[in-house]
Amino acid sequence: MKSHFQILIIGGGTAGITLAAQLKLKDASLDIGLIEPSDKHYYQPAWTLVGAGTYDFKETERNEADYIPKDVYWIQDKATGIDPEQNQVSTAQSGTFTYDFLIPVPGLVMAPELLPGLPEALDKGVVCSNYTDPEHTWKVLQNFKGGNAVFTQPTTPIKCGGAPQKIMYLAEDYFRKKGIRDQTNVLYATPGTIIFGVPDFAKTLNKIIHDRNILFKPFYAPEKIDAEKQEITFRYSKPGESNCTIMEGNPLGEELIGAMEIKVHYDMLHLAPPQTAPKFIQESKLSIQDGPGKGWIDVDIHTMQHKRYPNVFSLGDVAHLPTAKTGAAIRKQAPVLVENMLSMIKTGKVGQESYEGYSSCPIVTRYGRMLLAEFKYDNVRDSDPLISKFVDTTKEQYSMWLLKKYGLPFMYWNLMLRGRA
């Protein structure tokens, strides 16, 4: 078995496959190895639609082997450790591999154990998550008869920060279609401070939640779940606040426990589980050791090159980049990494390409409507020049729904994973 590669990629998800394909298109002679244990590849952005009963889960699944570029050596195994001093990666079963250049892009892992009560409750009964089992979400929506429908997210970074509210809008629309909206409280509770970070899109979303009578609770950090009692406890996390007040007779029946904890009964609960970088990334010297970015890979936010190990580059979900963790971000990061790494291979100097933080979040706001939130570093709005010529992306649009349901999946499978988008 081959054990040394010019370029070694860890991860065969969106980032790993896109990078392998782009590198091979630029230079077919590159010697590339790719470590990925799974034989299935999923188009996860469509899981929001699966959870709302408007997309077939089977359509989101393909064989990994069909997308790993020809002439890329597939090591079907799990990476377990990285030693950047020795240019080595260890695996669970296949031994150790060495490299000239390394691209660790393994994506995030679900860590439900970080929220007490969640491992016992997740994907059972009325507790669901599009992140883990969107088909169960659809069952929960169909079985829901009214009461408190609670949607929340953790304090950790997550894949696509907008996803927890997308399913909330679709569920609210579904309850209207089903004729049970009058018997339902729809609660969107988030540890965040606002509905969305980019003002232009926040304005539209604030109007939507107001017009559709959605209860929005910022500074609500989920703390624990009691599946038997169907209760979730939040900690009120507003900076500088030492106690929290709850109005008597509030529609949700919230209960204050102590100064800062709020207990809410749920008749259905959708949440994004806490998420982290894989353990072997957190424990490697490639990750930031202390402070706010602890556990994430320490890269330059513009060049994608590691700050301490020049032959290591990274992007996507595990890289410490102050932007959303989305496939759209990877699409803009990948060409930058490829050019900069190829320059490093050929000249010993990193290239001049710069990533400015672009990410996008297609926010479905009801069946048949979507707004496309595009932004870059510092929450600055950043529109695709082509789309913005024809469409005001800050408004709910049917055309954007068609893009989400048909256009983006086509682009993903046929262009992005082939290195052509």
Cα-only R_g, the chain: 22
* Residues 56, 138 contacting (CB under 8 angstroms): no
C-alpha separations of 53 from 49, 141, 166, 181 in Å: 6, 9, 13, 18
Residue 39: which residues within 8 A CB-CB, separation 6 or more? 63, 64, 65, 76
The 3-state DSSP class for residue 217 equals: strand
Half-sphere exposure of 191 (CA within 13 A, CB side): 17
Tokens representing 348 are: 């010993």
Is position 160 annotated as part of the catalytic site? yes
Q: Which of 361, 372, 408, 416 is catalytic?
A: 361
Among 129, 136, 119, CA closest to 158? 129
Give the pairing of strands 40-42 and 61-63: antiparallel
- The alpha carbon of residue 90 and the mean position of all alpha carbons in its chain are separated, in whole angstroms, by 26
C-alpha separations of 328 from 155, 275, 304 in Å: 22, 19, 16
Count of Cβ atoms closer than 10 Å to residue 176 Cβ: 15
Q: Which of 52, 160, 260, 299 is catalytic?
A: 160
Tokens representing 64 are: 């990994």
Count of Cβ atoms closer than 10 Å to residue 261 Cβ: 15
Among 416, 334, 408, 387, CA closest to 48? 408
Is position 361 annotated as part of the catalytic site? yes
* Residues 136, 123 contacting (CB under 8 angstroms): yes
Please identify every residue annotated as catalytic: 160, 361
